[in-house]
Chain A
């Protein structure tokens, strides 16, 4: 019964070594699944809230002719800081070699932009219309080395309320 504990020991050591060397890949795949579920939940909430807010239009124009008289106007601001997961960053590294559209990144920025517009609308729920809507994206840090790579999306517009006509 002498070799039994020995082989078990070497098996455990091999396992530990494999785990240590494979851990970057394990983390990568774990972040893929976690990141995907976060994205899925975020899209679900964005779609639900967008359905609730479709009755208040946001426009990039600033022409109010033909509209009822305006009672009040105020500035509405919404912003979000969003980051990409490790897997997508790794994927983008590969994409950089071949070129083409970075689908994994565009979905992240798309989420941020829609979230920012929704937050802008939620900041002024009593408005009738949002005019001169501007969307701005800025990179806070590019994520090289130990820095946290994230970008900020800001949406702002003038929220106007029209005079209510008695019907």
Chain B
């Protein structure tokens, strides 16, 4: 599966479009991470626990998107976009969407 965020796959010809595919996940942080992040928040800087959390969530969202594309019989997803929304205090939604295509 080739993933790009431009309208084409450089060096390849797209022969079929399958339309929009998307994957999303809503993740909440857990108490242990929250405690450490709360302490780190006093002095500022990177919150590594949260960075990991967001990374995992984004990976899951894009895995779901890839799964959906595979079901359609696509072998690449082009024009991928990511969005993040905070649903409530402490929970975030990740959405990844793109166009599933097949190249020759």
Contacts and interface: CB of A to CB of B under 8 A. Distances in A.
Q: Do A and B come from one complex?
A: yes
Interface of A: 27, 31, 34-35, 38-39, 42, 62, 64, 69-75, 77, 79-86, 88, 108, 112, 115, 131-132, 134, 136, 138-141, 143, 147-150, 152, 154, 156-158, 160
A81 B4 contact: no
Given A73-B2, A132-B6, A80 B46 contact: yes
Interface residues of B, number: 36
Contacts of A156: 5, 80, 82
B84 A80 contact: no
A71 B12 CA distance: 9
Of residues A42, A79, A140, which shows the largest number of chain B Cβ atoms within 10 Å of its Cβ?
A140
B44 A84 contact: yes
Of residues B9, B46, B55, which shows the largest number of chain A Cβ atoms within 10 Å of its Cβ?
B46
B58 A141 contact: no
Nearest to A146: B38
Per DSSP, are chain B's interface residues mostly helix, strand or loop, or mixed?
Answer: mixed
B104 interface: no
Given A69-B11, A73-B9, A147-B90, A31 B3 contact: no
B31 interface: no
Given A148-B38, A156-B82, A140 B92 contact: yes
